[in-house]
Amino acid sequence: MSYNLLNGKKGIIFGALDSKSIAWKIAEKAHDEGAVFTLSNTPVALRFGEIQLLSEKCNAEVIPADATNVSDLEKVFTRTMELFGGKIDFVLHSIGMSMNVRKGRDYDDLDYDFFLKTIDVSALSFHKMLQVARKLDAINDWGSVLALSYIAAQRTLVGYNDMADAKALLESIARSFGYIYGRDKHIRINTISQSPTRTTAGSAIKGMDGLVDFTDRMSPLGNATAEECADFSIVLFSDLSRKVTMQNIYHDGGFSSMAMSLRAMTQYNKSLDEQS
């Protein structure tokens, strides 16, 4: 069902790799809601992913860019403005990668070159995107910029590794840049802290299946799906959320406010009984 919430809005969506990607679902919904946008991902992702399918479906040009490379980002913003004949209204940063996670390096045995790469790809790229957009004056007043985060920024979850530090920085950048961009241009910057979701990046996390099951059982509303994340992202891109900025908003079925559920307590007591 479409509400035309993004009618007339123009944007850039970074990070759609395949149909499981959260950015993919957001692109589909943004298209349904009347937005026009370009898509961007790394040249490697464009070769191995399925982005051409999404591009055809949404009638969206694909612009290759490594989001850690400022001149690549300048090209994405410049080309998008050229295509749409002016400034844009929304930007999605849906990018994350850790070589330490990929290579199975534990948090007390990190490779520091990998760690710097994690920070650069998963957090600094957000700052670079915002700085490029601001210097090019690429975003309309009251525009909306969104990045995707995870609760490991606040709480320790086994297996999330150096991505936790990257997410903490990502959320801090949303606040720090949100102040400047809000003050000067009324542009809002937020992060959505999404439930664990089975995607390519998500599946790289050690113990992902157990984590998905645990958070689903612990959340009163159950885990939020990628489609539900897309719905919420549309609201944050729309004019219905004009005064929401510098926030990290949990989209997790209530998990972030839980400590112990009836179900978990019952299971815990049962395991104690079994031991005695």
Ligand X SMILES: NC(=O)c1ccc[n+]([C@@H]2O[C@H](COP(=O)([O-])OP(=O)(O)OC[C@H]3O[C@@H](n4cnc5c(N)ncnc54)[C@H](O)[C@@H]3O)[C@@H](O)[C@H]2O)c1
- Choice from 114, 150, 250, 255 touching ligand X (CB under 6 A): 150
Within the chain, residue ranges assigned H as helices are 22-32, 43-48, 51-58, 70-84, 99-102, 112-119, 125-135, 163-185, 200-203, 208-218, 226-237, 262-275
Of 226, 223, 228, 199, which is closest to residue 211 (Cα–Cα)?
Answer: 223
Between 50 and 262, CB nearer to ligand X = 50
Min dist CB 262 to ligand X, Å, is 25
**Residue 271 C-alpha from the chain's centroid:** 37
Question: How many residues interact with ligand X (rule CB under 6 A)?
Answer: 26
Binding of residue 201 to ligand X (CB under 6 A): yes
Long-range interactions of 262-271: CB distance < 8 A, separation 24+: 263/217, 263/218, 264/217, 264/218
Min dist CB 44 to ligand X, Å, is 7
- Choice from 11, 143, 196, 253 touching ligand X (CB under 6 A): 196
Between 66 and 162, CB nearer to ligand X = 66
**Tokens 């209204």 correspond to what residue?**
89
Between 21 and 144, CB nearer to ligand X = 21
Which class for 94: exposed (0-12), middle (13-18), buried (19 or more C-beta within 10 A)? buried
Site string for ligand X, 175-194 (x = CB under 6 A): -------------------x
**Tokens 């490594």 correspond to what residue?**
66
Residue nearest to ligand X (CB): 202
- Choice from 5, 35, 148, 230 touching ligand X (CB under 6 A): 148
Binding of residue 200 to ligand X (CB under 6 A): yes
CA distance 26 to 19: 11
Segment 82 to 101, residues that bind ligand X, using CB under 6 A: 94-97
Let me know the angle formed at the C-alpha of 209 by 115 and 228, rounded to the nearest 5 degrees.
90
Between 34 and 99, CB nearer to ligand X = 99
Sites of contact with ligand X (CB under 6 A): 15, 17, 21-23, 41-42, 45, 66-68, 94-97, 121, 148-150, 194, 196-197, 199-202
